Structure 1
């Protein structure tokens, strides 16, 4: 199916949003899977999911069976979770790989670097080699990956420019955090939300602060709409920032330790940016978070939320309070994104309009989607 995206890429005052089909049509969902999520650097997981060498976690990403693995040298890798023999799934549940990755079907074995190291009885009973089978060419299929701010990004197609090139501006923008440790808060700093919405609506809502007074009255009581600013980098990323970030304080006045060597901008400032297509990041002086949007279907998304700190030594009660506070904020958005999803079934809705003053970050995302889709369609037409 080919949708008309010409109105989406117009200047914001004249533009319309993405057509309804981009939120409700399974065929368009599959088209976006290829163009937006497999063809670019998409967020898959966090490195903290596999903290120790040998740790393995199977992940299904848009139907693609993957294996997140920290190899014996501590390098995080992503493989297809598929045996090269008969296509069997290798790892069904998160676990520690003690020796090799063994296929449960015929016991072909792979090292944590993906090399095929054993093929029992492949040449007949007791014969573990065969002259027509070249083990060197039958290692696990590795998916191109890159880690930034602990997020494991993958480029499934293998065709995107290097991550550092694609996101050079954003990396430079937050370079002050570059040398600082990011310590995952642990089990009590992980939130999972299942939302009945298209993944793009979660991005659109996160990008802007326009909705704060009505959807987040508690947050807006101290970080008001007028204290926020738009972040608009067309074709790259977008989001919002605040000039009045307020540190969480415990009953005895305790706070989290700050990330080191930050400029005064971060004393009371914070930024919330979408790394296109599906990663939502928050940066504050004393903690950070990453939200990875996991599109399960055209109208179903799982949000994986992880909170990070500058030190392993954080107060348990304060950390739990911070998680609870953010969970409340993120849950407040659910009725909005689910309501927009239901509204997209209205056939008379034409994609909507944008406030030129308030919706710039969201329009940036819509225009990026339109540009990526248009380019993908042109490539297909040329083939």
Structure 2
């Protein structure tokens, strides 16, 4: 039974002050969490995985979102399918969570059997009059965004996903993410609300103090600073850096690699931002020394100097580099627990121990995700404290948090809260 509360969710939405973090109840209350699942994880587009999670016909993986269980699979014709993991007989789960290989989908309860297309092919003891045609597995609406699989669990999916699809199709084409290989995968459960996980990812105000591994390749100036706090020497360095950005972006785009920032963060339904970022140091990849982790570059890439094509949405963040990619997917588990699933991708033919070493490939983002998990837990513990009062965002380093909070409020209200 859901806990009851003295004030409706709408009063919490009304209480949010522009430029400030959210009221505590929007992070901690169980009724808000259930509303978040309904609004942001059922009625909006969410990333659940990758085409290359299921590289061969019969490969399948199960992803659970709240009480909804989804099967992502590759069918006999090599196509991608997403279906509800619910038998059309009496509702039993067909597959257990995780990855598997199947020739058909067989319900373990009463052996109703489905083709990889979802079509029911065998239902014993149902009589001659039984019509199998209307008992196929329920399909899920999905889009491939450059090889990333986005689904919408609503029958009325937001149409503005098409801008994301169009922008990223061109940007991700050289990386051939659909045909990459998942070299490693990690699940980390953060002890905090999913919005704190997303907020933490959307700013690097905290990076220099908490992410020494990441800061080898990240340029801290990219994530905001107070110009009045800079010395004349540092101000000159900042001006030089942004001049370099303009020049580097111009050259990248002249060479056929779209790079400029594209964002759809407010006054929209589908929330995303993408930009090609400069990599610091050796400039090749997000590794301990900023050099490429894999000698075999992704897709048709022939250059290591194309920076970090980053993309984020409201339940994912991604970094695409010449040699490898890092894809992180956020799945809420409860009001105070969030799963962060991270995948490291390499060229489909890259061989571990020959073309890349796993430790170098994964070191930076394993460390960064563990560090972020601690920060999110600290944040959640703080917002549960009666002393918590929403604080002001930095106008230099946390503008994207303000946009996220504003978008969150707007979308909740659009759905009647």
State the Cα distance separating 1:340 from its structure 2 match: 0.5
Counterparts in 2 of 1:225 and 1:170: CA distance versus 1, 3 Å: farther
Q: Compute the displacement of 1:355 (Å).
A: 1.1
C-alpha contact (below 8 Å) 1:20/1:349 kept by paired residues: yes
Aligned residues: 361
In the other structure, the counterpart of 1:161 is 158
Distance in 2, Cα, partners of 1:289 & 1:87:
35
Q: Determine if the alignment matches structure 1 residue 139 to structure 2 residue 136.
A: yes
Cα deviation 1:153-212 (Å, max 9, x = unaligned): 1101121234xx4251574267232243225443x4222212111111111111112111
Q: Does 1:65 align with 2:62?
A: no
- Aligned residue among 281, 297, 304 for 2:334: 297
Question: Which of 275, 289, 292 in structure 1 is aligned with 2:313?
Answer: 275
Please give the alpha-carbon distance, in whole angstroms, between the structure 1 residues aligned to 2:311 and 2:72.
25
Aligned CA distance change for structure 1 residues 5 and 307 (closer, same or farther; 3 Å): same
Question: How is 1:266-345 mapped onto 2 (pairs within 5 angstroms)?
Answer: 267=305, 269-276=307-314, 278-310=315-347, 312-313=349-350, 316=353, 317-345=356-384
In terms of mean alpha carbon deviation, does 196-205 or 217-226 score higher?
217-226
Taking structure 1 as the reference length, the TM-score comes to 0.83
Residue of structure 1 equivalent to 2:208: 213
| SS of residue matched to 2:70 | strand
* C-alpha RMSD of matched pairs (Å): 3.0
Matches within 5 A, 1:197-276: 197-221=192-216, 223-228=218-223, 233-235=264-266, 236-238=271-273, 242-245=277-280, 246-248=283-285, 256-258=295-297, 267=305, 269-276=307-314
Query: Shift of residue 82 of structure 1?
Result: 1.2
State how far apart, in whole Å, the 2-side matches of 1:26 and 1:241 are: 38
Give ranges in structure 1 of 5+ residues lacking alignment: 124-128, 379-383
TM-score by length of 2: 0.77
User: Is 1:192–2:195 an aligned residue pair?
Assistant: no
1:273 match: secondary structure: strand
Q: Where do 5+ consecutive residues of structure 2 fail to align?
A: 1-7, 226-260
Q: Secondary structure at the match of 1:272?
A: strand
1: distance between equivalents of 2:288 and 2:201?
Answer: 27
For the 8 Å contact 1:207–1:238, the answer to whether it is kept is no
**Distance (Å, rounded) in 1 between the aligned partners of 2:408 and 2:389:** 16
For residue 381 of structure 1, what is the aligned residue in structure 2? none
State the shift of 1:79 in Å: 1.3
Q: Deviations over 1:317-342 (max 9, x none)?
A: 43431212221122221211111011
- Shifted more, 139-148 versus 242-251: the winner is 242-251
Query: CA offset at residue 149 of structure 1?
Result: 3.7
